[in-house]
Chain A
Amino acid sequence: MVAAGASQPSAPPVQPAQEGRTALSLAVVVVVLLALAPVAWLVAFACSGPDGLSGLSLGSDGLQQLLNTVGLVTAVGGLGAALGAGSGWLTARCQFAGRRWLRIAQLLPLATPSYLLAATLIDVGSRLGYRVHGSLWTVVVLTLSTYSYVFLLSTESFSVSGRRQLEACRSLGVGPWGSFWRVALPMAMPSIGAGIALAGMEVVNELGAVELLGVPTLSAGILLRWQQQGNPHGAVALALVALVIVALLVAAERKLRERSRCWNLGNDSSELERWSLRGWRLVAAWMVTLVPPLLTLGLPVLWAALSWDQLQAEPIGELASLSGRSFALALAASGITVAAGLLLAMAKRWIPNQLIQQLSFLAGLGYAIPGTVIALALMLIGGPAGLAPMVLLIWGYTDRFLAVAKGGLDAAFERIPPSMDEAATSLGCSWMAVLRRIHLPLLRSPLVVGTLLVFVDTVKELPITFSLRPFDFDTLAVRVFQYASDERVGAALVPALLILILGLAASLALIPNLERIEVEPRS
């Protein structure tokens, strides 16, 4: 398409064709306002407390919850980064038996909701006379359920970017490790950073698993203060602390990306030879790539096998309508969320207005807010206004998962050199034409990844669905949680397996995308 090689970042494109830009700005403002409404509502609510802002305090419980949250984010972020980037690199750039399958297997953990993983671990443990409890197990569960984000976002980068640099390394006699540390890793940093930020946010708003495993975090504290202690202002204080953590995560990710920004000016399509692994290296590669997927999928299956004798299946018709609702909700949510994410990512590129830039950054913060809190905020916004539950539900999903869709797009946009936009606009293309003719084809892979990630996340999503859905509208996740929270494992079994299957199907739909990266680098 354009000359190969990498260039230093240049100034943002000058935009000659202004027509239609107003519509874009307007759409962005609407999306941002919708995304920020729950957060804004929280802040306003916090300030309206009896003592204003001075009444907001952490308290000793809150401090402990904050420490737990920060500890989990750090541990899970670090482990997840190592595991995700490690398996991303191994399966993209090294050659070993089973590589192709193991690459696909990294997507399996996406299909397993962390609350399900925690519940099955506890249940299996208690049957075998072993107590699964506490922070160590929480780190294990959360790392397993989030490292795939890092894998997905980084492996693409390992596959496509810097082929020429890696070839140069090779010709200069730099070995696999050297190439990884000195070239591939720095080049993949934006994607790895985006993955860690997503995983970190997932940890901040995690509720089910931490409650089950008995590790009080901020999100558990928020709910406790709000609903059990009847102290909504105190709850919002904690929610704001959680927001700060996530804002820091997002800011750190952005910083990292800026430092290592480099445009990827296309690649030639020649296949770069992979490093062959033998001996202990091979065994290590197998361990890193095999154990996590095996655990995440194996545990629920082991659990199913152990509980088979208490299986209580619901009628097929009921199961079909549960799955249908999960599927339709996830489709609607992923389509709308990805569209909104694309809009925001585009705004960042096209609208030089600082305010819009900052707002579009803030709009991703919804991912930080525990689903329960988004649900409460939306209830309080939508309830008095008489908004239909279905609208609130989709609003909630979009708000919650906007960052998932946007993160990958932002990172991918940064790899499209502005010179392309400049060339197109100088040829008279409007932003819409550039989008259609240049960006969308180049962004195909992150768009598909984003859609599927939001899809899987929505299928697994619990608190928003649970509290905002309309009458007679149970989904698979709702049913699983109801039975599991009522400690009826046998009844939870079939819907849980269906979630796994749905998530698995979506994860497997990512395969052609992974494969495409391998055989047909973007041209």
Chain B
Amino acid sequence: MSGFATLRSMRRQLTPVRIGTAALISLTLTAAATASRAQSNEIGVYSGRHYNTDKQLYSQFTRQTGIKVRLLEAKDDALIERLRSEGKNSPADVLVLVDAARLDKASDMGLFQATRSAALLRDVPLSLRDSKGRWYGLTRRVRVVLVNPRLVNPASIKTYADLANPALKGKLCLRDRQSVYNQSLVADQMIQRGDAAAATWVKAMTANVTKPYFTSDTPLIRAIGNGQCGVGLVNTYYVARMVSGESGAADKALASKLKVVFTNPAHVNISGAGVTRHAKNPAAALKLIEFLASPAGGKGYAEANHEYPLKGYGSNATLKAFGTFKASGISAEQMGAKNKAAVKLMETNGWK
């Protein structure tokens, strides 16, 4: 092989490596540039929520206060692990998590610092925040019973306990026990009715389930809509999204025929946030949380995603049409403390 050919083929060989190195260098430079860009008027947010509407709200906050928000959205559990391993090195000032149990877990792990804020005490109801001020609820979502009126009489269901009625055998469909929303619901019931009664309830209710468990809410809602299931447990915002037409005309037609039943009392879960223990800019971090919890912020944070604001029902038309509910009043902190026991109870009583 001639020297020229060797050279040419060598150049071909090395190209991917070389391009890779160049790409890596430019990536590192970009990252370094971002990292060095002013610590002062900037906060880092780790968020387990990922909705486009959230980003609009963060921009609004930046416009109002001049504080720049740098965002990392990932799975809640991964964020908790990352924050813990980063310790003092963490660039995060605010941790936003979905579900009461996770907020409680993060504060147990010492990832939050206690804060005091008159605005937050005013805007966040007692049952929706940590008693030591480590985290504050920002939005509410309700786990409701969704009924296909052609198959099940909506009036026959008044409480979660009614789902254990043997008449629903084969008609009840559930999402699996990995869902934190189901875990917190069971924790809620254990606190309200005691462990033994909750165990009996779960056992009888899961005996009604003959179809494979679902792994997400939307297919469950569709299955209820097209009559494969008669009744199920879902979060309000998934239904609201479909009813509002956000997920297409077919879903809208399907979901509009269904009846959202608020049990009395209803199980309310939250998303919430706290200032991280090693925040570099805790004052600005608290400011962001105050902004998100304020009625104005809540409009963009909760209602834009079809969630309920911290107080009242807000102005989202779809949610208003669902009607009103009475919250169980069990605090997020209590539910979080009961999470492990709830998972165990579900496991031993047949919740797949």
Q: Which residues of chain A have a CB within 8 Å of any CB of chain B?
A: 1, 122-123, 125-127, 129, 131, 133-134, 211-214, 223-224, 226-230, 307, 309-310, 312, 314, 328-329, 331-336, 338-339, 372, 375-376, 379-380, 382-384, 386, 388-391, 394, 436-437, 440-441, 443-444, 447-448, 451, 466-474, 482-483, 485-491
Bound-complex Cα distance A91 to B52 (A): 46
Q: Which residues of B contact A372 (CB under 8 A)?
A: 78
Contact in complex: A487, B217 (CB < 8 Å): yes
Are A441 and B9 neighbours in the complex by a CB distance under 8 Å? Answer: yes
CB proximity of A466 to chain B, nearest CB, Å = 5
* Closest residue of A by beta carbon distance from B31: A390
User: A383-B82, A467-B82, A471-B70 known; A487 and B246 CB under 8 Å?
Assistant: no
Of A214, A384, A473, A487, which is within 8 A of B89 by CB? A384
Contact B81–A214 (Cβ < 8 Å): no
10 CB < 8 A contacts A-B: A126-B219, A126-B222, A131-B219, A214-B214, A335-B24, A440-B9, A440-B13, A470-B34, A487-B217, A488-B241
Interface residues of B in 316-348 (CB under 8 A from A): 340, 343
B50 on the A face (CB < 8 A): yes
Please tell me the number of chain B residues within 8 Å of chain A, measured between CB atoms: 70
CB of A388 within 8 A of CB of B23, answer no
Selected contact of B50 from candidates A335, A444, A482, CB within 8 Å:
A482
Q: How far is the CA of A307 from the CA of B248 in the complex (A)?
A: 7
Inter-chain contact A436/B50, CB cutoff 8 Å: no
Q: Which of B49-77 contact A (CB under 8 A)?
A: 50-52, 70-75, 77
Decide if B216 is an interface residue (CB 8 Å cutoff).
Answer: yes
Q: B35 — which chain A residues lie within 8 A by C-beta?
A: 388, 470
Whether A441 pairs with B212 at a CB distance below 8 angstroms is: no
When chains A and B are docked, how far (Å) is the Cα of A384 from the Cα of B70?
A: 21
- By a CB distance below 8 angstroms, the chain B residues around A376 are 81
Cβ-closest chain A residue relative to B6: A437
For residue A502, give the distance in angstroms from its CB to the closest CB of chain B.
Answer: 14
Q: With the chains together, A448 CA to B14 CA distance in Å?
A: 10
**How far is it, in angstroms, between the C-alpha of A228 and the C-alpha of B90 when the chains are bound?**
22
Cβ of A329 and Cβ of B178 under 8 Å apart?
A: no
Cβ of B226 under 8 Å from chain A: yes
Contacting pair A129 B23 (CB below 8 A) = no
B38 contacts A by Cβ under 8 Å: no
CB atoms of A227 and B31 under 8 A apart: no
Is B287 an interface residue, CB under 8 A from the partner? no
One digit per residue, 1 when the CB lies within 8 angstroms of any chain A CB and 0 when it does not, for chain B 242-256 equals 000011111100000
Please state if B17 and A335 are interface contacts (CB–CB under 8 Å).
yes
B165-209 CB contacts (< 8 Å) to partner A: 176, 178
Instruction: Establish whether residues B23 and A466, one from each chain, have CB atoms under 8 Å apart when the complex forms.
Output: no
Measured between C-beta atoms, what is the minimum distance from A125 to chain B in Å? 8
- The 4 nearest A-B residue pairs measured at CB: A335-B20, A383-B85, A227-B77, A332-B24
B-chain residues with CB within 8 Å of residue A470 when the two chains form the complex: 31, 34-35, 72
Q: Are A390 and B10 in contact (CB under 8 A)?
A: no
In the complex, which residues of chain A have a beta carbon less than 8 angstroms from the beta carbon of B85? 379-380, 382-384
Min C-beta distance of B69 to chain A, whole Å: 9
Evaluate whether A212 and B24 lie within 8 angstroms (CB atoms) in the complex, with A335-B16, A338-B17, A383-B85 already known.
Answer: no
CA distance A391 to B28 in the complex (A): 8
Contact A472 B70, beta carbon cutoff 8 Å: yes
* Chain B neighbourhood of A436, CB < 8 A: 6, 10
Evaluate contact between B248 and A336: CB separation under 8 angstroms: no
* Chain A residues in 8 Å Cβ range of B210: none
Q: Are B73 and A383 in contact (CB under 8 A)?
A: no
Whether B296 is near chain A, meaning CB under 8 Å from some CB there, is no
Please state if B78 and A328 are interface contacts (CB–CB under 8 Å).
Answer: no
CB <8 Å contact, B222 and A127: yes
Give chain A residues whose Cβ lies under 8 Å from the Cβ of B117: none
Query: Is the CB–CB distance between B12 and A335 below 8 Å?
Result: no
Q: Are B343 and A310 in touch, CB under 8 angstroms?
A: no
> Known pairs A227-B78, A310-B248, A489-B218. 14 more at Cβ < 8 A?
A126-B219, A228-B343, A307-B247, A310-B246, A310-B247, A332-B21, A334-B16, A383-B82, A394-B24, A437-B6, A441-B1, A471-B34, A487-B217, A487-B241
